[in-house]
Structure formats: structure tokens, C-alpha cells
Structure 1
Amino acid sequence: MSRTAMNPAKAALTKSLRREAGRWLKAAREAAGLTQAELAEKTGLRYYTFVSQVENGLGRVPIEAQAVWAQSLGLDPTQFARTLLRYYEPELYRLLFDGAAEEVEPFVADQAAQA
């Protein structure tokens, strides 16, 4: 089955959501008191520039790395993955959690308060 080209509106939404995810991750990193280099080291990355790219919305945290990122940031891995899913795959998030009135930003505030 071939993939169809993404329409411009969906591409713009995806880009916007990636930037929002990046801002959320940057806030979580700063709340944990880590630099990009420190987070890269804790997550086993060779270069901090990957963290920078993710925070700028140019990349995303790979699924297989989400648990270690969450632990490095002092966050619950399940909530971390769920929050990223909301940004990275909004349709899947809606299908799985529709009706679950969860706000992304209060989660960040709650996690920062616990740190």
C-alpha cells in the first residue's frame, strides 16, 4: 500500500504540534535543572544537538527512548509517553483516550512541582 502525500494543512498542524512538543520537553528539562548536554548524556546520546533538534520541533523522541528520557527528566514514563503521543500522533491519541479530559500543560506543572 502506497502512502499518500500529506495535505498542506495537515503538514502545518504536524509542524506546529512538533514545536509545541519541543517547548513542553524544554520546560520539562529546565524544570529538572538539566542542560541539553546533561540530558543527552543521561539518555545515552552522543551529541546534545539531537536534544536541541527535538526541542525546536525538528525531530521527535523515538518510542524506544521515551522511557529513558522520562526517567532522566524525573517524569512518569507512562504519562510522558502519553503526552508525547498527544503531540506526535493526535489522531491515535484521540482514538485511544477520547473523553479523557487531560491537559498537557498541567501535567508539566505538576511534574515540575514534584521536582
Structure 2
Amino acid sequence: MTTSQDVADYLTTLIKRSGKTQALIARECGFATANMITMLKKNQSKIPLGRVPALAKSLGVDPGEMLNHCLQAYEPELYRVLAGILPAMLISQKEFKIIQALRIASKSGAFST
């Protein structure tokens, strides 16, 4: 089970990997100050779900992957409901492209049953 500390650690790793300053990331995500990024890294605040797309873009990661981490940690009941009803919503863009390619291949007859 993913915890809020796991999300904070994930975010810290992504920030280090990005090579960007916290001030730049904060600006790109619409946060008033870099202090918010520090609070997220220290697990003193949750990533606002509405900021996930901008934060993921700033850090160069798939927004679906980041949302997955956040929902599992912050809203586990909602995550379980969504995973049961709309599992396709909880996959990354790369995974979705693979699924699309499989669907195209199966329609073309590349896979026979």
C-alpha cells in the first residue's frame, strides 16, 4: 500500500532527477512560493490533486502515474473504486499506447484465436 510518505519520497526523487530548482517547479505548477514544494517533500502537505498534471509536466513524468501514487496514498477508498470501475483510467500513457497497438493488431488479424 502506498503511503503519503511514499509520495513525498517519490516527489523528492523526481525533483532531484529533474535538475530544476524548487522555485522553478513551484512557478511552473502555480504555487505561490517554493516553500510549498518543501512542504510536499517533507510530507507536511499533500499534493493537491488538481496540481498533479502541472507538477508531472514540470518533472517530466506521466501524470497518470503521479495521480496513481497520490490516489493510493491520499484517497485509498476512491482509488479502489476507480480501479474496480475504470481500471483503464489508472494506467500510464505508455501503457495506454501499448493497449492501443494491441487493439489495432487484433483488428488487423495479427492475432488469431
TM-score range, shorter chain: 0.5 to 0.7
How far off is 1:96 after superposition? 2.8
Q: Is the Cα contact below 8 Å between 1:40 and 1:47 reproduced in 2?
A: yes
SS of residue in 2 equivalent to 1:47: coil
Q: Is the Cα contact below 8 Å between 2:52 and 2:67 reproduced in 1?
A: yes
Q: RMSD of the TM alignment (CA)?
A: 2.1
Query: Hey, what does 1:41 align to over in structure 2?
Result: 27
Q: Is the Cα contact below 8 Å between 1:43 and 1:68 reproduced in 2?
A: yes
- Which runs of 5 or more structure 1 residues have no equivalent in the other structure? 1-15, 101-106, 108-115
Higher RCO by CA contacts (8 Å cutoff, separation 6 or greater): 1
1:94 aligns with 2:56: no
How far off is 1:26 after superposition? 0.8
Deviating 4+ runs (over 3 angstroms): none
The amino acid across from 1:72 in the alignment is S
Decide which of 42, 45, 56 is 1:59's aligned counterpart: 45
Q: Is the Cα contact below 8 Å between 1:66 and 1:81 reproduced in 2?
A: yes
TM-score by length of 2: 0.65
Deviations, residues 48-100 of structure 1 (Å, cap 9, x unaligned): 000111111111111211110111111111221112111211232233336x8
SS of residue in 2 equivalent to 1:23: helix
* Aligned residue pairs, count: 85
Q: Report sequence identity in percent.
A: 27
Query: Hey, what does 1:68 align to over in structure 2?
Result: 54
- Which runs of 5 or more structure 2 residues have no equivalent in the other structure? 93-113
TM-score by length of 1: 0.64
Deviations, residues 12-36 of structure 1 (Å, cap 9, x unaligned): xxxx922221111111111111222
Query: Hey, what does 2:11 align to over in structure 1?
Result: 25
SS of residue in 1 equivalent to 2:19: coil
